[in-house]
Structure 1
Amino acid sequence: MHVQLRRARRRTDTQDIELSMDMMVVFSGEDDRNSYSAIVERLTKKLELHYVKDLEVETVVVGYLARERKGHQEESTYKIIGLLNQYKRIACMEETEVVIDDDPAMPNKVFGRSTSLNIPHEFLCPITLEIMTDPVIVAIELGNHREVI
Structure 2
Amino acid sequence: MKFLDIGEVSAETGVKPSALRYYEAVGLISSVSRHGLRRQFPPEVLLQLRLITLGKKAGFSLDEMAGMFGRNGMPDLPRAELQQKADAIDRQIRELTALRDTLRHVAACPAPSHLECPTFRRLLQVAGKRRSTGKETGGRRRPA
Scaled by the length of structure 2, what TM-score is found?
0.27
- Larger relative helix fraction: 1
